Structure 1
Amino acid sequence: MASSKSKLGKTFAWVLMTFVIIGLGGFGAVNFSNSDNAVASVGETEISSREYARALSNELRRFSAQLGQEITFEQAQAFGITSNVLSQLITAKSLEDEAKRLGISVNDEVIVTNLNETSAFQGIDGKFDKETYTFVLENAGMTPSIYEDAIRSETSRMILQSGITDGVKIPLHYLKIMEKYLFQKRDFESVTLAWKDLDKPDPTPTDEELKTHHKENSDQYMTPETKMITYVILTPEMLSEEIEIDQQVLEEVYAQRISEFRQEEKRRAERLVFLTTQEAETALQSIKNENTSFSQFVNERGLTRSEIDIGFRTKTELGDAGNSLFDANLSEIIGPFETDLGPSLFKLIEIREAKTLTFESVRDQLSEELALAEAITQIANQSQQFDDLLASGASLEELAIETPLELKEIAFFPGMEDSDVTKYEDFRTAAVAVSAKDFPEIIVLEDGSVIALRLNEVLEPALKPLDEVYQLVLDSWVSKKKNELLKDEARLYIDNGNISSLKSTKFEEVSRDDFSDETPPALLATVFEMNKDEYKVEEIGDKVAILRLINIRDGVSDQPEEVEILKSLETQIRSTLSQDLFRIMVSDVQKSRGITV
C-alpha cells in the first residue's frame, strides 16, 4: 500500500505543481478576491474561493488555447465553463470527504518523498531545497502547509477512486455467456423462391389499388422543397461568340507556341528485362537462331504484351537503347541495353514520324482559346459595373436589358446538378442559402462566369400526381404484390410439409457476421433468432427464402482474433461498470453528506 500511495502522490504532485505554477498565471483575469471564503462544500469538506479561482483560471487558459484567442469570464459563463469547473471540484471534494470518513490517509513519509522528487523544488545540486520550495509556493500564493494538505487530500482521494474503479471484476459466468453468444455458430438450410418458380402471370392492379398504393407510399413520390429562382448569367462562352481575334495575333501566338505543335519522332517498343547481361545475350542469340521467340520468353514469365509495352517514347527518353531503336526495323529485336530495371531486350512495334501541325490546322483552336481568354477579361472588367447597377436598385430584368447578362429561371432543389447553371458549385451553394429577404449580388464563378440570383417563391414538398409517376407506382405495386404472393406460397410449402420437394442449400457453422450474397445481414439476424427445427420466411430483394434451423453450436473463442475480441469487450464492460460505480458512489456521498453552494 505504501508503494501505491507513493506512486499516486508523486503523480498528483506533478499535476498540482503544473496547476499551481501555470494556472495561477491567469488568476488576475478571473474576478475573484484573494479571500479564502468557501464557495461550496460537501459534508465537512470545503471548496475555497482560491481553489475555485485556480481551477477556473486553468480551464480558461486551456480553453483559450484551443480557440486560439483569450475568452472573457462572461464568455466562460455562457459556454458553461464556470459551472463545469465547480461540478468537477464538487465531485473531487465528495471523494475527499468520503476518504476522511473512511479514515483513508497518507503518512508524512509519502509527502516527504514527493517533495524530494519534485524538480520544481530542487536546487542546482538536484536535491530538495527548502528555500526554493518556499519561494515557488509564495509566488503561487500558497504556503507549505496548504500545499502539503492538498497533496495529502488528493492522494487519499485517488486511493479511494482507484479502489472503486480498479476493483471491478467481471464474473466468469458472464464472460462465458458473452462467449457463447458472440461466437455461436448455426447450421441451417435455405430454399430460395423466385417469381419465375411459381409459373404465374404478373399480378395486375385495379385503378383503386394503384391509387391506394400511391397514397400509402406517398413519401416515395414527393417533390422536394423547390426554390423558384430568377437569375442572370454571363459566361465566357456566351461572350466569346462575339469576339473576333485578328489574324496577325493568331499567327504571333502560333509562332510563340510552335513547340506545342511540333510532334517529335517517336518509337513504340516492348521491353523484356533480365537479371544479368549474359542471360539477356543468351536469350537474344536463341531468338536469332530461331530456337525460341520473343513471345515465348514473355509467356514463360507469365506476362502479357500490355505489361511489357513501354508506349511511344522519344530517342532521349529511351536512353541507351534510343539510337539503336530509331535505326531498327519494325519487329526487330535489339539489345541488351542497361535500363533502370536491369539489362533489357527491346522489340520495335510501331514508328511515329515527326510532324508539325500547320497554322491552318490549329487556327480555329487558337481563335477559340484566345476569344475565351478575352471574354474572361471583359467579364472581370464589367462585373463591378453589374454589381453597382444592382446596388443602385436595378432589377435582374433591367440588368438583362442594359447589359450582356441573360435572364433565366430555374426550379431548384438540393442535389440538382444536371443543368447548365447547377453544374457550378458556387451557384448551388448560393441557391441553397438564398432567402426572400436577400438582394441579388454578383457572384463570380470558377470559370470566370458571373451570376446574380433572386428567390421568387418556395414550393413546399408535395405528392406528385399519379399520372406523373404512374409507371413507378405500378412497378412498386407489382414488386410488392409478387413478394406477398411468394411469401404466401412459401408458407403453404411449410404448412403442407412439402419443403423436401424443393432444392435447398445447407449452410454449416455460420457465425453472426458471416455476411455474403447468400447470407445477407437481415437473413442471418433471422437465423440467429430461430429455435432448432423452426421454419421462417425471409424476404431477400425480389425473392424469398424458406429457412430451417438445423443445429445450434455454442460459441467458443478458439481463434486468436476471437480471444482478442473477448478481451476487448471485457475491458470495455469493466470500464463502463467502473464509471457507473464511481458515479453511483459520488452521488450517494453527495446525497448523504449534503452539498452547499
Structure 2
Amino acid sequence: MMQFIRDHSNSLWAKILLVGVGVSLAGIGGTQIFSGPSADTVATVNGAKVSLQEVEAQYQQLLNANAQNGDVTEEIQRQYRLIARQDLIQRRAMDSQIKEWKIRASDRSVAEEIVSIPSFQKDGVFDQETYKTALFYSGYSIEGFEDAIRRDVEERIVREAFVNSAFVSNNELQEQIAFLGQKRDLEVATFNYLDDLESVAVSENEIKKQYEENIAQYKTPNLVKLQYVELEANALKAEDQSYSAAEIQEEADKLKKQDEQRLSEQFTIEYSTDSEKQEAMDILADLKERIESGAMTFDEAKAEIAQIDNAYYNRNGNFKYGAAGIPEFDDALFELTEEAPFSTPFSTGGEVHLVHLLNISTPYNDDAALLAAAEKSLKENAVADLYMTKEARMQELAETYTESLGEIAQDLGLELKETDWLNLDSQEDLLGNASVWAAVSGYDVMENGRNSLPFAFNDQTNHAMIVRIADKEESRSKSLEESYEEIKAELAKNRAKEETMNRVNAMLEAGDTQNFQNDIEQLGFSYNQYNDLAITSVGQLQTKPVEQYAISNGFQKIHHLEDGKPQYLVEDVDGYIFVVAVNKINVGEAEGFTDEDRAQLQEYLDGREASFEYQALMQYLFNNSKIKLYNNSFFQ
C-alpha cells in the first residue's frame, strides 16, 4: 500500500481513531445497568454472556497495540476498557445475526485457521501437543477455542462480502487525491498548562466550596493486600547429578537430530501398482549406483529422469527433523552423511524417492560444544521434571487447602509473599497483570476470600501462582483535609486551562495576523512554522506527538480559507493547548499520482467504505439487540 496509508497507521492516527471510537461509546450509557449475576459476567447480549476474562484479554490487546504511544493516562485506560467491552458486545450481536443468516464456517476452514497460528507451531509446523498446552495455560478448552475461531471465520465471511460489494466513485477518488496532494503553509504553537500549577492561585474558600458541592466524588480507593505463592522453574535447582558418558552421548544424538538443518534434493517417481513401484525402485537404485560409481553425473541423472513421464526432480528446503511432516523422508534424510550422501530408494504412499544430501548446518561448532550442550540439556530437563512434579503437587494442594496459603507454601518449600496495600480500582502493581487480575477478580477469591486455583503467570508454562486477598479496605468518603491537595490541583488545572484559552482567544480576536509568532511566544507557547506541508508528511515530522496531532487536526478541521485570510484552530488535549494557523492552501493535483497509485488508493478507499458499512451494520445490530450491562469495578 502507498506510503501515505502506512503513515496513517502511526500513533497520531491511532489517537484520532480513539476519539472516534469514544464517540461511538456514547450510546452505551443509555443501556440499562444491572447488579451482576456473578463477578465474572459483565454483559449479556440476546442471552449470550460476555465474561470479564474476555474483556480483560481484549483490553490487554489494546494496551499492547498502543504501547508505543507513550504515557497512557487513567482516562485513556478507562476508555480502552469500555472499548473492549463494546467490541465484545457488538461481536455477540453479530454472532446472533450470523446464526439467523445460517452462515457456518466449515470444519476445514476452522482447521486451516488454527494450524496457521504461530503459537501452535513447532519448527514452523502445527504441533498438536503445543496446541493443547497453549490452550490449557490460556484457560481455553479445545471446544471453546475452536468455537471462538469459528466465529472469527464467520465474521470474516461477512466482512469480505462488504469488501467485495463496496465501491467508491471516481468523484470521491478525485476529492481524496486533491486532499492528499494539497500543500499548506501553517504555523503551530503548543503550551503545556500543567507545567507550573503551583503558581496558580486557588483560595481555601474555593477548595471548601468545591468539596461541599461535589463531596460524593471524593472517595478513597478500594484497597487490598494480596498473599501469593509462585512456583518458577528458573528458581528451582535439581540435585547435583553427574551423567555418564553414555547418557551425555545419547542426549547429544537427540540434540544433533533436533537442531541440525539439512538441505537436499531428490528424484521422485509416482506409481499406482506394486509392479510400477518395483520398477521405480529399480530405476532409482540403478541411478544411484551409476552416480556413486562415477559412471554418470547428477545433472545427467536429472536429464534422464526428465524423460520419464511420471518422474520429476525437486530441490527441498533446509529442513529440521520432522519439519517435512513425512516420517519416511525425515528418517532417510537424517541417516545420510556427507561421506554417503545418497539414500536407498524408499516409498511414501504412491511415490518412490531417491534423496541426495547437499548440506548439513548445525549450531554446534564441534563435538565438544555438542557434548557440553547435551550435559546442559540434561540438567535443564532435570529442573523441568522437578518443576512439573511440584506443579502437579501445587494443583493437588490447592484442592485441599482453600482458605490459606501457609500449608501450600510449606509443603512446596516456597516463600509466602505479601504485597503492600494495592489500589483495586486502578489495578495497581501486581493487580495490573492480566492473569493475576483474572484470578483475583473471580467470585471465590473476591467475595468468599478463598485461594485462587493455580494459574500460569503471564501464560508462561514454567511459572505458576496461587493468590488470595489477605486484607481489604473498602472505599469511603474522604474528609476535606484528605481531599485538599487533590481539589487544589484540580481547580488549578481548570484555572490554568481557562486563563490560557482566554489569552489565546483575546490575541486572535485582535486580528494581528502579521505578529502571530511574536504574540503567541509572548504567551509562553512553543512555535514552529511549516511551508508546503502535505498531510502525508505529518507523521514523518521530527517533532512532539502533540504537535503532529495538532497539525493533523488542522488538516482535518480547516477545509478552506475565507477570502484568503488565515484560519485558526484552538484545542486542548492531554494538558496541552495548541493553536494551528493555516495561512495558505494549495489544492492538490492529480499529476503526482501514477496509475498504480490510483489503483492502490481506490483499493484503500473501497476497503475503508466497506469498513464504514460494516460498522454501520454492527451499530444497527447493537441498537436492536437485548443488552444488559452489569456493574463491575473494572470499568470505573
Q: Which of 1 and 2 has greater Rg? A: 1
TM-score (structure 1 length as normaliser): 0.36
TM-score (structure 2 length as normaliser): 0.34
Larger RCO (CA under 8 A, 6+ residues apart): 2
